Structure 1
Amino acid sequence: MKDRLYYQDVYQQSFTASITQRGSEADGTPYVVLSQTAFYPTGGGQPGDHGTLGHIQVLDVEETEGEIHHRLSEQLPEEWDQVQGQIDWNRRFDHMQQHAGQHILSAAFIEVAQAETLAFHMGTERVTIDVRLDALHEELWQQVERRANEIILENRPIIARFVDEEELAKLPLHKQPTVTENIRLVIIPEFDYNPCGGTHPSRTGEVGLIKILGWERHRGNIRLEFLCGWRAMRDYTQKQRRLNEAARLLGTNEADLVTQVDRLLSERDSLKQTLLEKERLLLEEEVRQAIVHAVPLGHYRLIQKVFADRTIQQLQQFAHQVNAQAADVLTLLAATGEKQQLVFARGQDVPVAMNELMKETLPLITGKGGGSPAIAQGGGQSNLPAEEVLAHARQKLESILSGE
Structure 2
Amino acid sequence: MNHKLFYQDAYLQSFQANIVRQDQDNNGNWYVLLSQTAFYPTGGGQPFDTGTLNHARVINVEEIDGEIYHYIDRKIEDLLVEGRVEWERRFDHMQQHAGQHILSAAFVELTGYETVSFHLGSELLTIDLNTTELTQQELEKVEFLANEIILENRTIQTKWVTKNEVAQYPLRKQLSVTENIRLVIIPDFDYNGCGGTHPSSTGQVSSIKILDWERQKEKVRVYFVCGARVRKQLQQKHSVLKEVGKLVSSSEQLMVETVQKLLSRNGEQDKTISELREQLLLFEAQKVLQGNLEGSIITHLFHNRSIQELQKLARHIIASTNEENIVLLVTENEDLVQMVFACGSDSSFNMNSLMKEVLPIIQGKGGGSPVLAQGGGKKIVSGKEIIQQALKVISK
What CA distance in whole angstroms lies between the structure 2 residues aligned with 1:292 and 1:84?
88
Aligned AA (2:306): T
Task: Tell me if 1:384 matches 2:380.
Answer: yes
Where do residues 323-402 of structure 1 align in structure 2 (5 Å cutoff)? 323-327=318-322, 328-334=325-331, 336-337=333-334, 340-381=337-378, 383-384=379-380, 388-401=382-395
Partner of 1:289: 287
Asked whether 1:62 is paired with 2:59, we answer no
Counterpart for residue 297 of structure 2: 301
* CA positional deviation for 1:301: 2.9
Q: Distance in 1 between matches of 2:216 and 2:316?
A: 47
In structure 1, C-alpha distance between the alignment counterparts of 2:376 and 2:75, rounded to whole Å? 56
| Match 1:245 to one of 223, 234, 243 | 243
Residue ranges of structure 1 left out of the alignment (5+ in a row): none
What does 1:77-156 align with in structure 2 at a 5 Å threshold?
77=77, 80-156=78-154
Query: Any idea what SS the aligned residue of 2:132 has?
Result: coil
Match of 1:314 among 309, 320, 323: 309
The AA in structure 1 aligned to 2:166 is L
Amino acid of the residue matched to residue 177 of structure 1? L
Comparing 35-44 with 254-263, greater Cα deviation is found at 254-263
Q: Which residues of 2 match residues 202-221 of structure 1 at below 5 A?
A: 202-221=200-219
Aligned partner of 2:4 in structure 1 is: 4
Normalising by structure 1, what TM-score? 0.94
Distance 1:337 1:271 in 2: 31
Q: How far has the Cα of 1:233 moved from its partner?
A: 1.0
Distance across 1 between alignment mates of 2:222 and 2:359: 51
TM-score for both structures, normalised by structure 2: 0.95
CA–CA separation in structure 1 for the residues paired with 2:12 and 2:226: 22
- CA distance in structure 2 between the aligned counterparts of 1:124 and 1:390, rounded to whole angstroms: 59
- In 2, the alpha carbon distance for the partners of 1:204 and 1:107 equals 13
Q: CA deviation at 1:390?
A: 4.4
Q: Kindly tell me: are residues 207 and 366 of structure 1, through their superposed partners in 2, closer, same or farther at Cα, counting changes over 3 Å?
A: farther
What's the secondary structure of 2:253's corresponding residue? helix
Maintained 8 Å contact 2:210/2:224: yes
- Is there any run of 5+ residues in structure 2 with no aligned partner, and where? none
Q: Is 1:305–1:334's contact at 8 Å kept on the other side of the alignment? A: yes
Which stretch shows the higher mean deviation, 102-111 or 343-352? 343-352
The equivalent residue for 1:264 is 262
Over 3 Å counting, the alpha-carbon distance change for 1:252 and 1:305 in structure 2 is same
In the alignment, which residue of structure 2 is the partner of 1:74?
A: 74
Taking the aligned partners of 1:10 and 1:105, their CA distance within structure 2 comes to 21
CA distance in 1, matches of 2:318, 2:310: 12
Paired AA for residue 138 in structure 1: Q
- Pick which of 230-239 and 338-347 moved more: 338-347
In 2, Cα distance between equivalents of 1:391 and 1:41: 70
Q: In 1, are the aligned partners of 2:19 and 2:80 still within 8 Å (CA)?
A: yes
1: CA distance, partners of 2:161 / 2:7: 13
Q: Which amino acid aligns with 1:64?
A: I
Taking structure 1 as reference, are residues 399 and 69 closer, same or farther at Cα in structure 2, changes over 3 Å only?
Answer: closer
User: What's the CA shift string for 1:243-268, capped at 9, x where partnerless?
Assistant: 01110111121111111101101110
Quick check: 1:43 aligned with 2:43? yes
Q: CA deviation at 1:2?
A: 1.1
Give the distance between the partners of 1:113 and 1:337, measured in 2 at CA: 63
Equivalent in the alignment of 1:273: 271
Q: Kindly tell me: are residues 183 and 363 of structure 1, through their superposed partners in 2, closer, same or farther at Cα, counting changes over 3 Å?
A: same
Check the 8 A contact 2:332/2:383 in 1, yes or no: no
Q: Could you tell which deviates more after superposition, 260-269 or 349-358?
A: 349-358
Q: 1:180 matched to which residue of 2?
A: 178
The C-alpha deviation readout for 1:145-169, integer Å capped at 9, x for no partner, is 1111111111111112211233311
Deviation at 1:213, TM superposition (A): 1.1
CA RMSD of aligned residues (A): 1.6
1:345-387: CA deviation from partner (whole Å, max 9, x where unpaired): 1233443222122212223333221101211012334x436xx
Bigger shift: 245-254 or 323-332?
Answer: 323-332
Cα distance, 1:101 vs structure 2: 0.8
Shift of the alpha carbon at 1:127? 0.9
Mapped partners of 2:335, 2:95: distance in 1:
51
- Residues 158 and 183 in structure 2, CA contact (< 8 A), matched pair in contact too: yes
Q: Is the 8 A contact 1:295 1:303 kept in 2?
A: no
Shift of 1:237: 0.2
The residue type equivalent to 1:312 in the other structure is I
* C-alpha deviation, 1:397, in angstroms: 2.0
Residues 193 and 255 of structure 1, relative CA distance in 2, 3 Å threshold? same
Once the two structures are TM-superposed, the CA of residue 26 in structure 1 deviates from its matched residue by 2.2
Say whether 1:191 aligns with 2:189: yes
Q: Secondary structure at the match of 1:255?
A: coil
| Partners of 1:230 and 1:364 in 2: CA distance | 65
Checking the alignment, whether the CA contact within 8 Å between 1:361 and 1:389 is kept in structure 2 is no
How many residues are treated as equivalent by the alignment? 394
Structure 1's 339 and 74: CA in aligned 2 closer, same or farther, altered over 3 A?
Answer: farther
Percent identity over the alignment is: 47
Alignment match, 2:15: 15
